[in-house]
Structure 1
Amino acid sequence: MKVSGTLLLLFLGYAQMAIGQISGSVLDESGNPLVYANVILIDTLNNELRTGAITDEDGVFEIDFSQSGNYILQISLLSFTTWNSEPFEISGTVFKRHFSPITLDEAVTTLEGVAVTGRKKLIQRTQEGSIINVQQSILTKGSTALQLLERSPGVVLDQRNNSFSLNGRSGVMIMINGKPQRVPTADLMAMLSGMTADTIEKIELLTNPSARYDVDGNAGIINIVLAQNETFGIRGNLGVSAGYGEGPKQTTSLSLNYGSERTTLLGSYTFSYDDSYSGFQAIGVTQLPVLGGDTYVNFSSATQRLDRNHNINLGYDYQLSENSNFGVNVLYNTSSPLVATRNRGLYDFSSTPFLEARIHLNGDGNWKNLSTSAYFETGNETQRFTLTADYINYNNRNPNVVNSSYFDENGDSFQPDNEIYNLGNRGFNETDINVGVLKLDQHYELGEHLSVEAGLKGSLSKTVNNARIEILEDGVFVSDERFISTIENEEKIGALYALTDYTMSEKLKMQLGLRYEYWNQDFDDASLNRSFGKLFPSVFLTHSFSDTTALNFAYTKRITRPNYSDLASFLIYNGPTSVFSGNPQLLPAITDNISLTYNNKSFSLSLLATNEENPIARFQITRNSLSNVAVIAPVNVDYQRSIDFQTNIPIRINHWWSLNLNGATGMRQFKLLHTDEKIEHSYLHYNFNGTQTMLLPLNLSLEISGWYTSEHFNGSTRISGFGSLNAGIKKDFKNGSSLQFSITDIFESVDIGSQVGSLTREAFGDEFKVKYSPESGFSRIYRISYTYPFGNRKVKNANTRSGADTEKSRL
């Protein structure tokens, strides 16, 4: 592939000369040296970390630096109070400063009441997964939320089939601020592509969620957490970006925050414009009876999409008393995409003349997503009660018009006799989803070594989908009964959970959790109704060898439920020879996950084993008695089992050059049920994600990142390996603003190849090679972004909030 050998660029460096050095030593109150204390140099102008070090075995530190400016030195260590120097200036070509021995006092407050401020690592490991602190990446500015996910370790986006996978497994629950996004995946991808990454604080990749979380998603949960700054007075941020790939791109964002002793107000607005392009080509043979037997097919498609997205986020938090807080949040997204698709199919039949089909589709859609949330929290040092209520409304209207024309081998226009070759059609599709959620949580500290948490949740949702396709006959559009679908679905979910954290000894900690969920779906077609109740346990054990080294064990059980479009037996026009459909016989997929993780500081190594029963594979070729063409539908695979090694390796070459390498390698085994032969197959799968950051003179910083995923399977479809290399450079100014330039997919390497029929015989004997390219596969995407912060930069005291953010993230 195009990126072969190029990922070695991740290890390129930049030579520079330091202009000075800061040194000193750190002691405790008894005069003993403190080892592994964090020593960081913070720019007072924009409160950003510039460089840092840790103390050695003698408590001594040395920091080399290359950027002039005004700074403070900050020293911190767990269970000690943080020490800050007086502001001082660094200037000139040579500067040295030696601090007298610095004494840290032991902290007298509990950890829960302490706020730690500083530059976060790009990737942090937790017992439930990983946290990606996306604002530590230069490439975040000007990107979309979807592009952030694509660059996240272990996350693979299949934009052609509209699916997510995490560490090689499908069935991923996407959340925003802890709220499950129960919208069709294609619409979710469109929504995330219109959400600017500048407003995102972090992405949580929860591969082992505990019992406090919803159990949806066999592969785990991806939670996108939006930023919320707490300041005194008014603080804001203005951002503008412009870019170009196959078409122009533009983003403008404005955020404002106001904070007082009791009140926090926040608001942000983003408008983005994205003119993008994608295409695919499929070449192969089929034995569809409607085509008269063996047929050679060369089908190509090109889509130009114009997205105009508006995003609004409003929030209000109020401290009712010393121990009580109340808050509300409103998130609103809307988009009006224009889609123009040009398809060309060449059909060489064994029994009838050659046929060329040209199909033009034009769509003019509009979708809206409103998410509102309110919470109340009260408690003290030993107990905490939280109540959250949420309402979500999603509406999507997607009308389109299709014009078709047909040509013979001489290029002359004609009308084929078969009824599948219509001159045109128009489609109407409207989806409306309403979700209400109520959740209560109670947390108790029962002593120094034991805490208990319990909660209950109820959600009620209603989905209405109206879709139809009208066929053009004799100049008039008439309805086709095969292509009319009206689906109404009500879903009820009730959940109870309890978990306990117990410190068994100074080195051994345990968390036990149990969650019961009852799920009920009622359709207007009673044959589709589903009802399901099950217990889902979670177990976490942590053995600490030292303050920086630990071994973690985790076991969790998860479920992936079919959604309404998976189950409904509708037919949607895809082309003359195929239709999309649901599958009323789908079963929910159940997964057992076991992991063992070794952590040493920021280094981690994990062994993971999973067993998935009835995993769902979408977009598989099947037969349907109601249709004489191929039906593309979701199916259950009998099972998928895997065992993986995962690692996260941070490498600090020196104070100005650091790398983070993240990867996974493992074996997969699955068994197919929908093909003519029920075969088993095993294969090796691996993925890699690497980022390096270099701090350069003149307040410049450079980042190069790359990712690659190897060959894998979606049901019976073999997908070839693909990856990307990206780069960005950033200039920081003294007024706190920054200018950034980035390149996405430097080698235009995101070309996704796949094969149908390579494992065993498919329905109708289909054998196809398919190549899909998103926009970056045709053209590098260039962006330039400018960000300007303004207003007060004084941070509010941390005790104005007491864990409400954690509770809000649980929905």
Structure 2
Amino acid sequence: MLGLILTLSTQAQSIKGMVKDENGKPLAAANTTLHRANDSSLVKFTVTNTEGNYEFAGIGEGNYYVQFTHVGHETAKTAVFSHKNSGESQVPVLTMQKQGTSLQNVTVVARKPMIEVKADKMVVNVEGTINAVGNDALELLRKSPGVQLDKDDNISLSGKNGVQVYIDGKPSPLSGADLTAYLKSMQSSQIETIEIITNPSAKYDAAGNAGIINIRLKKNKSFGTNGSMNAGYNIGTFPKYNGGINLNHRDKGINIFGSYNYNWNKNTNQFLLYREQLDTLFDQRNTMFGRNKSHGFKAGADLFLNNKSTIGVLINGNISQNEMKTDSKTPISYIPTGVVDRILTANNESENKRNNVNFNLNYRYVDTAGRELNMDADYGLFRIKSDQLQPNVYFDPTMTNQLSQAIYNFVSPTDIDIYTFKADYEQPYKGGKLGVGLKTSVVSTSNNFARFNVIGNSKDLDVDRSNHFDYTENINALYVNYNKSFKGFAIQAGLRLENTNNKGESYALFSNGSINEGSGTTPLDRNYTNLFPSASVTFNKNPMKQWSFTYSRRIDRPAYQDLNPFEFKLDEYTFQKGNTDLLPQYTNSFGITHVYKYKLTATLNYSHVADMFTQLVDTTENSKSFITKENLANQDIISLNLSYPFMYKSYMAFMNLNTYYSMYQADFGGGSRKIDLDVFSFTFYMQNTIKFGKKKAWTGELSGWYAAPSIWQGTFESRRIYSIDAGLQKNILKGKGNLKASVSDIFRTLRWKGSSNFAGQLTVASGNFESRQFKINFTYRFGSNQVK
């Protein structure tokens, strides 16, 4: 009897309603959230059933409104209504409009969830995350679910390397140190979302074995004239400053927008390298001090020719400068006795300039029949220059007597030019949607590497250890993609054809630094064509329990730095060189995904990687080592990813667990040159947000991640690493201002370490950086905030 009374009481305190589409039909699977009217705080979350109905049970007395979102429809919400403790509240039927329909004078008040798990990707909403403030793009990736960075900041996803980074939907041509430097110059205040796409369709480039990470920059969509300003301050060991402004004007005929961001920082980090080779021990310790400044800018306009056609122009870029000073000391010992024989100091100084400007002309056509055409023509340029002074001075074990010295100056300018044209067309076809497209791109890279021997106040070009390397890559692609929904299931299938033509030419330099055109060789000249199929089947008869099965084939092509056969000296005993025999790596991936009640998402994936890239630390001249890229025979990896969002009243949380088992096998000559490693590893990510205080004006956030021991680049075995951040946020100045404060890596646990034992050489690398920082940021918004 008591149970019956409690049940009836709960039912009597419910809020019910119904949602229909623009044709008056019940709308199933609409995300439905109940909010308090006084502060818009979230109370409960549900989805509509197959009849378009929804219900919130056990709701206390108060004033509320209900908000709805659905794919392909504009966000909608009900009027505010009162709900009593006794009785049932029946909300009037609400009709959702398709996207593109005008919504007069709607002010957006809802906050985005921190992380959204969608059918084809995971979206990290950087704008709404307190602990993102003051971070650069690389740090944001380090803290994103399933993403890992190794000792050289190479990015992997679910244990797989070969991640393709996109900026605003366009692939970046950079890789390695150049990509790392570019991401470090991009501030969180410029970024709206980070999309982690693990199973891209045929519409995307086939590059990216592990998938695609698409960094979307902010773009204001509000009507009228509006903008925002932001300023931030960070302090760790040294202070850091950042600020920016964003302006936008939009009416029925045109949208004009622009933004500028500035960042200045001084930082320090440590890098330790312990190396045993034959009977010699090298114990290198480096302390690095850096000074960076960058200017990011974006400007453009969209002209609405009519209600179907839009033409746009865009220019964006990043101008950055970095100065680095390294204090390096390496005691060199004889292992049998443990006695230090000599000490090498290499106090390097370097100055790097990295400038990037991109131009885009685009056209979009969309009609009411479902036909859509998008065309983009792009030109991008990167101008990179590195100037490094490397003095190598040898002392006796007491550091009182200098034994010898060798001083070098490396000057390495790189010019990259990218030309791209692409067209994508979609239209309804036999109850589904058919998409076709084409793309052609040319990336031209010119890299000059000059090594000078410094003697006193003069320096001479070492022509035997300098070179000029030109690399051109042309990729032509066609694709077809089709998706269709049936009763109880949906299919998507695509096929992409890519033709690749790349050529590398190497030249010697004259003593005056000019290129010796007659010395040209062509160590690389390849042409190949591949097919890349992709497919998925989703069973959604019961929207509360959906299953998806996916397959895709993808490729990763070597970067130009990994192909340049010349040597780059890191110090007297370590150098780096490319490998012209490096082949592309190919991945076949199979996945199964289950989504339960639009909350719990589980994905099981198996991938086989052929000719996987690995970074080897090999040996030469008995005591010297060199770093190069090689193809492993294969990699097999099984991963399981679990995501769950949780909401209760003013509390919101997101949890992600990514586990994987990976096996690496290769034979580069038997014995100690054979690789046979496997690992079971996992990463865990959690983010918690709560509103509190009078009128829920304060927001607190606690986030953290943990990465278990793993394997980097197929040879380095890493130890565990983790971090915890905390932050507070308050809206001020009647909602126009926003103040955020946070502390990153509270317990200073971001200290990495890895070891490798290959070719008779034991290597242990470790390091840390200025990870614990206090950060404060203020944002002020002005002008119109209406979306129509």
1:634 corresponds, among 615, 629, 638, to 629
1:490 corresponds, among 472, 475, 496, to 472
- Counterpart of 1:339 in structure 2 is 324
User: Does the 8 Å CA contact 1:33/1:59 hold for their aligned counterparts?
Assistant: no
User: Does the 8 Å CA contact 1:316/1:329 hold for their aligned counterparts?
Assistant: yes
SS of 2:183's partner is helix
Alpha-carbon deviations, 1:97-146, whole Å to 9, x = none?
A: 99963212444x55675989643322222332312222231112322222
- Counterpart of 1:775 in structure 2 is 770
* Distance (whole Å) between structure 2 residues aligned to residue 37 and residue 585 of structure 1: 52
SS of 1:566's partner is helix
User: Does the 8 Å CA contact 1:74/1:82 hold for their aligned counterparts?
Assistant: no
User: Does the 8 Å CA contact 1:132/1:202 hold for their aligned counterparts?
Assistant: yes
Most deviating of 542-551 and 603-612: 542-551
Measured after TM superposition, the shift of residue 473 of structure 1 is 3.6
* Distance (whole Å) between structure 2 residues aligned to residue 50 and residue 154 of structure 1: 29
Aligned positions of 1:471-620 closer than 5 A:
471-473=453-455, 476-503=458-485, 505-524=486-505, 525-600=521-596, 601-618=598-615, 620=616
Amino acid at match of 1:268: S
- Counterpart of 1:15 in structure 2 is none
Measured after TM superposition, the shift of residue 499 of structure 1 is 0.7
Amino acid at match of 1:355: R
Alpha-carbon deviations, 1:343-363, whole Å to 9, x = none?
A: 101001369971111111111
Aligned positions of 1:723-762 closer than 5 A:
723-733=722-732, 734-757=734-757, 762=758
Alpha-carbon deviations, 1:48-94, whole Å to 9, x = none?
A: 9532424698734676799xxxx983433659997645579x9xxx9
Alpha-carbon deviations, 1:212-237, whole Å to 9, x = none?
A: 00011111110001121212211111
Asked if 1:785 is matched to 2:768, the reply is no
* Distance (whole Å) between structure 2 residues aligned to residue 167 and residue 74 of structure 1: 37
* Distance (whole Å) between structure 2 residues aligned to residue 65 and residue 564 of structure 1: 65
User: Does the 8 Å CA contact 2:271/2:285 hold for their aligned counterparts?
Assistant: yes
SS of 2:207's partner is coil
Most deviating of 676-685 and 217-226: 676-685
Aligned positions of 1:145-156 closer than 5 A:
145-156=137-148
1:104 corresponds, among 87, 90, 93, to 93
User: Does the 8 Å CA contact 2:590/2:605 hold for their aligned counterparts?
Assistant: yes
- Counterpart of 1:427 in structure 2 is 410
2:363 corresponds, among 358, 373, 376, to 376
Amino acid at match of 2:356: N
- Counterpart of 2:518 in structure 1 is none
User: Does the 8 Å CA contact 2:266/2:290 hold for their aligned counterparts?
Assistant: yes
- Counterpart of 1:125 in structure 2 is 117
Asked if 1:665 is matched to 2:665, the reply is no
Measured after TM superposition, the shift of residue 739 of structure 1 is 1.1
Amino acid at match of 1:736: K
SS of 1:398's partner is strand
**Unpaired runs of at least 5, structure 2:** 1-12, 48-52, 506-520
1:357 corresponds, among 341, 344, 361, to 344
Amino acid at match of 1:26: G
Amino acid at match of 1:103: P
* Distance (whole Å) between structure 2 residues aligned to residue 218 and residue 728 of structure 1: 35
Measured after TM superposition, the shift of residue 681 of structure 1 is 2.1
Measured after TM superposition, the shift of residue 314 of structure 1 is 1.0
Amino acid at match of 2:717: R
Amino acid at match of 2:392: S
- The change in CA–CA distance for 1:259 and 1:474 in structure 2 (over 3 A counts) is closer
- The change in CA–CA distance for 1:267 and 1:33 in structure 2 (over 3 A counts) is closer
- Counterpart of 2:646 in structure 1 is 651
2:65 corresponds, among 65, 70, 73, to 73
1:314 corresponds, among 287, 290, 299, to 299
SS of 1:565's partner is helix
TM-score by length of 1: 0.86
- The change in CA–CA distance for 1:349 and 1:701 in structure 2 (over 3 A counts) is same
Measured after TM superposition, the shift of residue 470 of structure 1 is 1.0
Amino acid at match of 1:383: R
* Distance (whole Å) between structure 2 residues aligned to residue 705 and residue 365 of structure 1: 34
- Counterpart of 2:512 in structure 1 is none
* Distance (whole Å) between structure 2 residues aligned to residue 220 and residue 142 of structure 1: 27
User: Does the 8 Å CA contact 2:18/2:54 hold for their aligned counterparts?
Assistant: no
* Distance (whole Å) between structure 1 residues aligned to residue 495 and residue 170 of structure 2: 21
- Counterpart of 1:436 in structure 2 is 419
User: Does the 8 Å CA contact 2:30/2:68 hold for their aligned counterparts?
Assistant: no
- Counterpart of 2:219 in structure 1 is 228
User: Does the 8 Å CA contact 2:159/2:637 hold for their aligned counterparts?
Assistant: no
SS of 1:103's partner is coil
SS of 1:337's partner is strand
Aligned positions of 1:200-211 closer than 5 A:
200-211=191-202
2:761 corresponds, among 730, 748, 766, to 766
Aligned positions of 1:272-351 closer than 5 A:
272-287=263-278, 294-349=279-334
Tell me how many residue pairs correspond in the alignment: 738
User: Does the 8 Å CA contact 1:672/1:716 hold for their aligned counterparts?
Assistant: no
- The change in CA–CA distance for 1:265 and 1:576 in structure 2 (over 3 A counts) is same
SS of 1:330's partner is strand
Measured after TM superposition, the shift of residue 632 of structure 1 is 0.9
Measured after TM superposition, the shift of residue 24 of structure 1 is 4.6
Asked if 1:367 is matched to 2:351, the reply is no
* Distance (whole Å) between structure 1 residues aligned to residue 325 and residue 61 of structure 2: 53
- The change in CA–CA distance for 1:790 and 1:576 in structure 2 (over 3 A counts) is same
* Distance (whole Å) between structure 2 residues aligned to residue 473 and residue 563 of structure 1: 35
- Counterpart of 2:517 in structure 1 is none
Amino acid at match of 2:453: I
Measured after TM superposition, the shift of residue 96 of structure 1 is 9.3
**Whose strand fraction is larger, Structure 1's or Structure 2's?**
2
Measured after TM superposition, the shift of residue 510 of structure 1 is 0.4
- The change in CA–CA distance for 1:78 and 1:153 in structure 2 (over 3 A counts) is closer
- The change in CA–CA distance for 1:506 and 1:455 in structure 2 (over 3 A counts) is same
User: Does the 8 Å CA contact 1:26/1:34 hold for their aligned counterparts?
Assistant: no
- Counterpart of 2:382 in structure 1 is 394
User: Does the 8 Å CA contact 2:300/2:313 hold for their aligned counterparts?
Assistant: yes
User: Does the 8 Å CA contact 2:448/2:469 hold for their aligned counterparts?
Assistant: yes
User: Does the 8 Å CA contact 1:277/1:304 hold for their aligned counterparts?
Assistant: yes
* Distance (whole Å) between structure 2 residues aligned to residue 340 and residue 130 of structure 1: 38
Amino acid at match of 2:606: A
* Distance (whole Å) between structure 2 residues aligned to residue 563 and residue 183 of structure 1: 8
User: Does the 8 Å CA contact 1:72/1:84 hold for their aligned counterparts?
Assistant: no
Measured after TM superposition, the shift of residue 726 of structure 1 is 0.9
* Distance (whole Å) between structure 2 residues aligned to residue 35 and residue 437 of structure 1: 39
- The change in CA–CA distance for 1:363 and 1:54 in structure 2 (over 3 A counts) is closer
Most deviating of 602-611 and 24-33: 24-33
Quote the RMSD (CA, aligned, Å): 3.0
* Distance (whole Å) between structure 2 residues aligned to residue 465 and residue 382 of structure 1: 46
Measured after TM superposition, the shift of residue 32 of structure 1 is 11
SS of 2:523's partner is helix
User: Does the 8 Å CA contact 2:575/2:625 hold for their aligned counterparts?
Assistant: yes
